[in-house]
Structure 1
């Protein structure tokens, strides 16, 4: 899906202004216009624009002053300067002050169209840059292959959503791969060229969740040093994944409901309405209807997000997939740690198949991650899997583990304890004798 981008044209020549507006509107853009810099500033306060096209010579203030104002206060807006008296010096000055391009009048529409397309592409690339490394890494985690009938039916359902922008609600136990399925929904849709932006509603402090979602203006609060886009605006043209949506505070639920109705974002500290074209995929491991009955989740929001519910089966009901998933993870971690290729022993395979996996795919992943670090033999055996119930070599045997860097052993042990408590970080931190913040720091360091 190609989102409609907003353009602001500023020129004191009303005839030229209307002509440009008509032509660009015909190209599919949403175009607004201003005859003065003051009018332009008022429009900038009210709405967000991808591109601003401004004449250098204006009656009230110069276009160069407008350029400086936009670069300082609306850095996401790319500026294309126009002038009938172009000189090399003025072009260089405009580019130095932050203009994206500089064209002379009379403007050739083919040149202007190319400049606009490049400006939009540059802005989108800049906005999404912080997510690119994570996106490239996460692409490798797509686990499409399955022999499970329920999951195959889910894939068929997802195929029917390709041309539909309805909100999807993913339901299932913790660790069943809800984010993987959300990424699959995104990658098979018409929004695949846009950003997939995940946000864990339970991992963000209540007082910060709205600024994370909707962004904020400079000075909106003490630490707001510059205007920052929220996750909704960053995901414009793509998909926003709201994990653990049941953890969303009631105040933020109201704001999200308003967005789903109006499809506009108002950053904190601003009156500007920013149109956003984004698909919402939400996920929870809780019974949202029970939370509605308990008064902790809004009923109107529940019906808004529960348009297309998809229930993911737990790993214990996907026995036919366990070994193929384990082998997939093993190959990945061997590559990541630059370890020689290994296989599972028959005992290890039996242990993998007989365990009930309360932590689902996440627990299996951590189990194989740990085994690929700890195993020193030619094959992965039960001792390095550390699966509960396998008493033979089922505890830490330092003779078997051998000499390893402390960081590797610590990482393996942390994930082992985390699995024992089904991913509950509070209980894990308590039993490890560290703070939740300390545990989060250690887990985050693994990803960096």
Structure 2
């Protein structure tokens, strides 16, 4: 019976994938070969993150003026039929975040189920569903809704679309193109789920490009890197971290190795600070911060302190009436912050080591040409020092780049692909299958 069930599940999966491919084909989609190259100029580019999501592009008739707008990747359901997204959702009593990790996940695949369970242990909402994970949303009237990650992601995409339209001063037309970035480790179901989310938001995706490739494009490496040159892209985001090594061959980036941790990022660094001050408040005031509102305010202050310590040696925290009318004030030094997160920083470096080992460059580090840092947490001085030390102190150009901020890199790179005067980065085709999954999907009209 188990074998019959496995065959039935496999048949359903294959049928689903064929149906997705057929739908894309009917829409005029393709991923390379000898067909016409990618040509439409995207009006916007979207970078979906676990913590923050960004939209970028160029103002109409202003090819030298690029805009970039970011919102927290949070969604909330007040219960009156409305949906809150971004800052408004963060202030709600039961916001939902982290759902990006659920896109395309299949619970009958052991490795994917492990990641789903990892998320379930970290979020306050319930994840249900037997074959694919669904987020359970409780409404004020007691009703329960089960939503797929693509449906929730579509709400974020819609908010980003509205933000872009407000900047552009006009509605984005159905025929206008959109670039969407995705993690390199996304498999085909995750990519199709992302496409589905864009469609639900009324967006027509003409290009889906991997985040590391977009980051390399942001630094102009598709024009500057020598043929056969290599680049390490280290991404430390709010909730996930990954490292990728790519080589630039015949005009395209090909992956040589990659390593990732779906549950390592800036939120974990914040939590260490939160735990530090929760203990301090307990000892000093005898108050246990079990109230979610109080913890939320403390977490926000701790995140601000973390950011401040990237440019100064001491950060001060001050929160009026944190809990039971008690005012809180405290301080944190950079040395203390680095000590409490030392083991986590070493985990980040383990990803670098893993990617370099897969690329067979771990014993030939001098062959690596460039390093690109992505994500706000790569601005942490200690992480930058560890990266430099790993490469024996050799100062690589983009380790200390200031022209492109790490937290803006991916969205910027994706937007550059839509610049009306840009030569663009050529699409990968099926004849250039890269390490792992295809890294650049392009679609025509």
Fold shared, TM-score > 0.5 on shorter chain: no
**TM-score in terms of structure 2 length:** 0.22
* Bigger helix fraction: 1
**TM-score in terms of structure 1 length:** 0.22
Larger radius of gyration: 1
Q: Which has the higher contact order (CA 8 A, sep 6+)?
A: 2
